[in-house]
């Protein structure tokens, strides 16, 4: 059954249906094999195409999950851009790549939509492996303008940049949205873009949202900005002049021919705008859902040989009532059902549940911790729902902050709070922690300040793929003197770890946990408190054949593997700490000649196993008895997390095979992982 009834398709009814074309005589979307087919349509047909694209995206996200609201908001804008530009030749870059679904459907990838974010299907982010229309594989925010500046400079140096004298050159456009414009790198890119002496278009998709409500003074400014009177007067006067000029119909020609008068008018375009400080002509805001108006302004913008910002106002979740009304929930929902609600003549949405998550457990644990300790404060960087901080913020609004997409600022701010005697916790996805490493080094670790990092989405993340895997946080943080790195096994261990962090004042601490449901496999016995550098025995024998030392939730896969090794005795330890390592445990095991297998969902390079090897070497222990299992040294792309574990040799069956080979001596234990065959399945 489709996620909403097809019979009501003319308009939105209580959020029930999209502006639809189900009764139209001919579908347009199936005929679009690429942008060339799009250009064959009349402008009057484009709204119908937009409705079909929205329907296709909603149908698929309802089945597989994915980024819904942000993609619905840019359907019209994306169609207009491909209608005007030739991005098979011109350059299109995306900042906040989760807005790219429409772009992909228009560039020959409709056949991949049915397996969105699954193995062999469409990635949820721009992906050059899929198409030459995607220039970068990108899932972080703030980078688009800077990379676009580099592309523009490269094309110009190579004689391929568009100009009035090189009509066959390449134009450059970058779409930035979901409030990533407030990111520091985006500001650096804007600052440099203003020095370009060529066409360069920044399209600001201003939907009034990031993942959550955008924060800060810049966001407040965009909430109040309106179409500048200066720009209106400029266009009015320019058109009057253009009437008397042969062929004078574009902004570029007008700019060059009007002399100082036009330059003064053009200055008015940005004098009242934020971007004046970056030497960028600003147009807008314009209606991002009026395709005809977008086509008109983009046709002018593509002929403008100066850096320009086109400010486009859009509605996140456009065309789907529930997504418009609750764009946070429907930013990236799990699969959902649309059910009839006859009483209200509409429908209701039910998100499919997958069990209690670590994120939910973290939110509750932090709420309890803050209730008991008034010195604890917390923050997140544009991820209040994704990290569970929204629940904490609702109860402690004066002690919890959302900084927007500004991880570096968030870390520095929390260090300032630590300096003044507070206990700061920063909730951040592991993949986004990379953006604040400098602050973890300079302002936290170097100062000896107790910044507390709560790393959600650590390890393999499933459908979001390589751009979001939390695979290098241990490697980054382990180089920092006195840093403490922990992994949560389940909900009780998460609570115990947070208690340890709240009381630890000697420096930076971190706790990593995955995007998974919490399991209760080891909750039949009480969870002991965390002691610095001490592991926890989960299964122990007097004389085991081998010992598995697992970091974090990989203890669950290890327990399943042990069940497949019934003929052997296998110890299992929850390492708890990647730094400092439990050297006493290693001395005991290796001293008795017991082989050790370390297991983690982090890169083999610089991860928990590497820390174990270093600790053994420092203490003169025999590293030949150690075998490491971890994420191999190649990219793991999107798919189900279980598939990714198989790719890495971290599923229970693969773990059991490795442990059996170690016990039976068929392969000599080594200090490197025996990497499985690399997946080469095409997307």
Residue 224: CA count within 13 A, CB half-sphere: 7
Which position among 117, 171, 302, 316 bears the catalytic label? Answer: 316
CB–CB of 42/93 below 8 Å? no
**Rounded Cα gap, residues 113 and 54, in angstroms:** 13
Give a three-class secondary structure readout of 184-233: HHHHHHHHHHCCCCCCEEEEEEECCCCCCCCCCHHHHHHHHCCCCHHHHH
284 burial (CB, 10 Å; 0-12 / 13-18 / 19+) is buried
Tokens representing residue 245 in the block:
């000029």
- DSSP reduced 3-state for 33: coil
Tokens representing residue 93 in the block:
């870059």
Non-local CB neighbours of 228 within 8 Å, separated by 6+ positions: 268, 269, 270, 271, 272, 273, 282
Taking residue 364's Cβ as centre, other Cβ atoms within 10 Å add up to 16
Can 435 be counted among the known catalytic residues? yes
Which position among 407, 557, 600, 643 bears the catalytic label? Answer: 407
Tokens representing residue 669 in the block:
């234990």
Non-local CB neighbours of 279 within 8 Å, separated by 6+ positions: 194, 195, 307
CA distances from 584 to 121, 590, 616 (A): 47, 10, 10
Tokens representing residue 472 in the block:
């290098």
Non-local CB neighbours of 184 within 8 Å, separated by 6+ positions: 142, 406, 408, 409
Non-local CB neighbours of 150 within 8 Å, separated by 6+ positions: none
**Rounded Cα gap, residues 596 and 593, in angstroms:** 9
Non-local CB neighbours of 44 within 8 Å, separated by 6+ positions: none
Which residues have a catalytic role annotated? 316, 407, 435
């Amino acid at each position: 059954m489709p996620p909403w009834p097809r019979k009501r398709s003319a308009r939105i009814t209580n959020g029930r249906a999209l502006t639809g074309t189900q009764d139209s005589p001919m579908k347009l979307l199936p005929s679009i094999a690429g942008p060339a087919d799009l250009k064959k349509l009349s402008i009057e047909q484009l709204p119908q195409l937009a409705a079909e694209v929205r329907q296709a995206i909603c149908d698929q996200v309802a089945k597989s999950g994915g980024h819904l609201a942000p993609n619905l908001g840019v359907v019209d804008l994306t169609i207009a851009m491909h209608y005007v530009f030739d991005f098979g030749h011109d350059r299109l870059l995306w900042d906040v790549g989760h807005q790219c679904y429409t772009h992909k459907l228009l560039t020959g990838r409709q056949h991949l939509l049915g397996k969105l974010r699954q193995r062999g299907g469409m990635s949820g982010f721009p992906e050059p492996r899929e198409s030459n229309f995607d220039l970068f594989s990108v899932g972080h925010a703030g980078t688009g303008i800077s990379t676009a500046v580099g592309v523009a400079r490269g094309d110009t140096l190579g004689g391929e940049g568009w100009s009035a004298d090189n009509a066959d050159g390449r134009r450059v456009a970058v779409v930035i949205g979901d409030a990533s414009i407030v990111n520091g790198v985006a500001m650096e890119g804007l600052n440099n873009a203003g020095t370009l002496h060529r066409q360069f278009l920044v399209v600001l998709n201003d939907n009034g949202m990031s993942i959550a409500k955008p924060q800060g003074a810049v966001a407040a400014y965009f909430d109040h900005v309106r179409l500048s009177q200066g720009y209106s007067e400029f266009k009015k006067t320019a058109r009057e002049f253009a009437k008397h000029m042969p062929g004078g119909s574009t902004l570029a020609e007008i700019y060059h021919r009007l002399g100082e008068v036009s330059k003064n008018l053009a200055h008015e375009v940005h004098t009242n705008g934020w971007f004046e400080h970056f030497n960028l002509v600003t147009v807008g805001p314009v209606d991002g859902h009026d395709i005809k108006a977008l086509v008109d302004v983009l046709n002018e913008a593509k002929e403008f040989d100066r850096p320009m910002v086109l400010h486009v106002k859009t509605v996140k979740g456009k065309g789907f009532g529930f997504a418009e009304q609750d764009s946070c929930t429907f930013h990236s929902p799990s699969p959902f059902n649309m059910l009839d609600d006859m009483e209200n003549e509409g429908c209701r949405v039910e998100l499919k549940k997958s069990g209690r998550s670590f994120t939910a457990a973290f939110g509750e644990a932090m709420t309890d911790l803050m209730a008991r300790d008034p010195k604890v404060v917390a923050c997140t960087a544009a991820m209040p729902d994704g990290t569970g901080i929204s629940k904490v913020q609702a109860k402690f609004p004066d002690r919890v902050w959302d900084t927007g997409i500004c991880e570096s600022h968030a870390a520095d701010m929390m260090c300032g709070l630590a300096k003044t005697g507070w206990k700061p916790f920063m909730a951040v996805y592991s993949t986004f922690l990379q953006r604040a490493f400098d602050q973890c080094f300079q302002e936290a670790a170097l100062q000896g300040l107790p910044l507390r990092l709560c790393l959600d989405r650590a390890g393999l993340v499933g459908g979001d793929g390589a751009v979001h895997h939390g695979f290098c946080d241990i490697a980054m943080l382990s180089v920092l003197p006195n840093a403490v790195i922990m992994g949560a096994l389940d909900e009780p261990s998460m609570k115990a770890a947070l208690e340890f962090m709240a009381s630890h004042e000697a420096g930076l601490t971190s706790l990593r946990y995955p995007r998974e449901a919490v399991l209760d496999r080891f909750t039949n016995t009480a969870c002991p408190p965390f002691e610095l550098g001490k592991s926890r025995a989960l299964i122990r024998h007097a004389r085991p054949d081998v010992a598995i030392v697992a970091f974090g939730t990989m203890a669950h896969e290890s327990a399943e593997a042990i069940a497949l090794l019934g003929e052997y005795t296998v110890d299992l330890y929850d390492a708890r700490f990647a730094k400092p390592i439990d050297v006493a445990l290693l001395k005991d095991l290796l001293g008795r000649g017991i082989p050790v297998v370390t297991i983690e969902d982090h890169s083999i390079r610089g991860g928990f196993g590497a820390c174990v090897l270093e600790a053994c070497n420092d203490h003169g222990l025999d590293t030949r008895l150690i075998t490491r299992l971890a994420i191999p040294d190649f990219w793991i792309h999107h798919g189900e997390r279980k598939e990714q574990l198989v790719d890495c040799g971290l599923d229970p069956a693969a773990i059991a095979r490795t442990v059996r080979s170690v016990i039976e001596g068929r392969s000599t234990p080594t200090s490197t992982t025996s990497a499985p065959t690399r997946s080469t399945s095409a997307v």
